[in-house]
Amino acid sequence: MINYLTKSLEFDIAYMVNSFLYVLRGLPILKDLLTDDIYKSGILKKIANIVIIVFFILRSLFLKFFYFFIIFVGCYELFPNTFIKTYFHIYFILTIIGFFINNKLLNSSKKKYFSINLFRVNANKMAKADLLWNQLSNLVLNSICILFFGYLINSPIIYSLVLILFTFFIRFIGEALNIIFYKKYHYIWYSNTKYYITVLVTLIAIGALPFIGVYISLKLIMIITVIVIIIGIISANYLFKANDYKLIYQKLFSIVNIMNPKNDKDYLRQAMVEVKEKDKKIDNKKLIGKKGYTLFNTIFFERHKEILIRSAKKYSLILLGLYLLGGYLVLTDLKYSEAISSLLHNNLGWFVVIMYFVNRGAIITQAMFFNCDHAMLNYNFYRKPENLLGLFKKRLLTVSKVNLLPALVIGLGNVILLILSNDYNVLIIITTFLFIIFLSVFFSVHYLVIYYLLQPFNKNLEVKKISYSFVTLITYMVSYMMTNVTMNSITFSLLGLLFTAIYIILALYLVYRFAPKTFRLD
């Protein structure tokens, strides 16, 4: 078991080291310095090993710490007077939720599948080693965090010890119950949505009890912990004595399951952009009179109606609902009327971040690559500059149109709110409306342009260019930072119009100049 555990950790580290070196080789300057020999270099690998181990420990610690921090701050903000009681209550309930849904033994992964079927690893040893590692590493991380936050609230150490023991032993119970359920019914209980929702809603309801002033007392937590320790020891004994893990895994890991795991990130990304069943049939009237690239582009958008057009319509409806509510508040309550008027007069930056979230540009480019360009870029005629740029123009027009619908709702909604609040002039109405429309075009151009200039995806739709991740991160950060800008809306809109106009012209120039070279498969 220990041997497997060592090998398993070595495997994970080797995987992370190679991924790390791969990322390094993608960085601008390092790309030229690091050659293929990087994977053979003993010293470099040793350094990478240390970096990865340190990174892995810090990351695990950070994530655990962040989890506790969110609970801690959330409880403090929502219940400042009964903060400590709430903190224990919420942590206790969340740990029980974790015990139900955070299952490690029955968690399917390609690593487990290949270990058993390809490397012929003993399934019993593997399962037990994984369980042991998971429990011990969590014990260490949880202990650090529970003791630290316990210290912050001056809680007696005995309470922290109770929580540590409760967290440690309840996981054994969770794993054992899941295994027993699986053996009896041949499926993982939480894949049954009805069970899953019932249990989750019940637990969340108990978790929400502090809102009505009811708490699970520390005394009750201590009594439950004693019971959990006893059942936990029995469960651990059951799990470590069981010898039928191979059978369990063989049933669990059918090849179809492993190759199309529903929780696999690639699968989810791809499923999000794939052509939906109801979009397979197209209304032929929409294709009449169209040919060549115009026909090609129309079919593309018609086949992606669900993720593009219908989704933009859904956003527009939600926004419409919000604006109706806003209009009602402006008309009925002076306080809200003043707040909304102030937002529209001085904090238009909020609409940058709203437009960022409403825009479908990012997902459209993913659909373009996965369902179309990834194949079409293999054909010489498609890569010819005139065809590439001709299609870019058609796409840009269609994408802008798709995004224009929610933009119109926001733009007109703002105008109506300004009129209803009776605090407006013609200039602010025109500039803010135009700003929203330009902003919508800006985001449409932005995503399409960076897609054409960086072509960031591989065939699994993973982002393989760090520059793309960097640009999208900057886009988000700048959009978010706009919420802090307080400026007269007319000035903000005029500056925004100027910036977006310059950006759009520059971006289109760059695409026309460079895309024939950059928009290719590597």
Partner 1 sequence: MKLEISNLTKNYGEKEVLDNINFSFESGKIYGLLGRNGAGKTTFFNCLNEDIDIDSGKFLLDGKKLTVDEIGYATATPVVPEFLTGKEFLQFFLDINESKIDKKKSLDDYFDLVQLSKEDQDILLKEYSHGMKNKMQILINIIANPKVILLDEPLTALDIVVQEDMKKLLKSLKKDHIIIFSTHILELAIDICDEIVVISNKRLELIEKKNLNTKNYKDKIINQLKEEAND
Pick from 26, 156, 292, 385: which binds partner 1 (CB under 8 A)?
A: 292
Does position 295 interact with partner 1 (CB under 8 A)? The reply is: yes
The residues, ordered by sequence, that sit 6+ positions from 456 with a Cβ below 8 Å of its Cβ are 450, 463, 464, 465, 467, 468, 469
Of 76, 100, 248, 58, the C-alpha closest to 152 is 76
**Burial state string for 179-207 with b = 16 or more CB within 10 A and e = fewer than 16:** bebbeeeeebbbeeeeeeeebeeebeeeb
Please report whether residue 37 would count as binding partner 1 according to CB under 8 A. Answer: yes
Contact 504, 445 (CB under 8 A): yes
260 lies in the binding site for partner 1 (CB under 8 A) = no
Nearer to partner 1, 241 or 281 (CB): 281
Closest separation in Å from C-beta 259 to partner 1: 15
The 321-360 contact track toward partner 1, x by CB under 8 A, reads: ----------------------------------------
Query: Which of 49, 311, 387, 475 contacts partner 1 by CB under 8 A?
Result: 387
Could you tell me the two tokens for 396? 């840009």
Of 336 and 382, CB closest to partner 1: 382
In the complex, the smallest distance separating the C-beta of residue 370 from partner 1, rounded to whole angstroms, is 8
**Separation CA 457–CA 470 (nearest Å):** 14
Q: How far is the CB of 301 from partner 1 (least distance, A)?
A: 10
Binding to partner 1 by residue 303, rule CB under 8 A? Answer: yes
User: Is residue 299 part of the contact set for partner 1 (CB under 8 A)?
Assistant: yes
Radius of gyration of the chain (CA): 28
Of 388 and 417, CB closest to partner 1: 388
- The verdict on 374 binding partner 1 (CB under 8 A) reads yes
Question: Which span (5-13, 293-301, 340-348, 446-454) binds partner 1, by CB under 8 A?
Answer: 293-301
Among 3, 6, 35, 198, interactor with partner 1 by CB under 8 A: 35
DSSP classification of residue 463 = B
Q: Is 285 in the site for partner 1 (CB under 8 A)?
A: no
Applying CB under 8 A, among 2, 36, 278, 425 the residue interacting with partner 1 is 36
Establish if 270 lies at the interface with partner 1 (CB under 8 A): no
Only one residue has tokens 């120039």, namely 509
Q: Give yes or no for a contact between 190 and 66, defined as CB atoms under 8 angstroms apart.
A: no
The Cα–Cα gap between 37 and 50 comes to 19
Residue type, 468: Y
* Residue 231 to residue 386: CA distance in whole angstroms: 71
Q: Considering beta carbons, is residue 122 or 387 the nearer one to partner 1? A: 387
Report how far apart, in Å, the C-alpha atoms of 484 and of each of 350, 481, 500 are.
8, 6, 19
CA–CA separation, 56 vs 36, rounded Å? Answer: 25
Q: Is residue 521 close enough to count as binding partner 1 by CB under 8 A?
A: yes
Total residues binding partner 1 (CB under 8 A)? 28
Residues of the shown chain interacting with partner 1 in the complex, contacts defined by CB under 8 A = 35-37, 274-275, 280, 291-293, 295-296, 299-300, 303-304, 371-372, 374-376, 378-381, 383-384, 387, 521
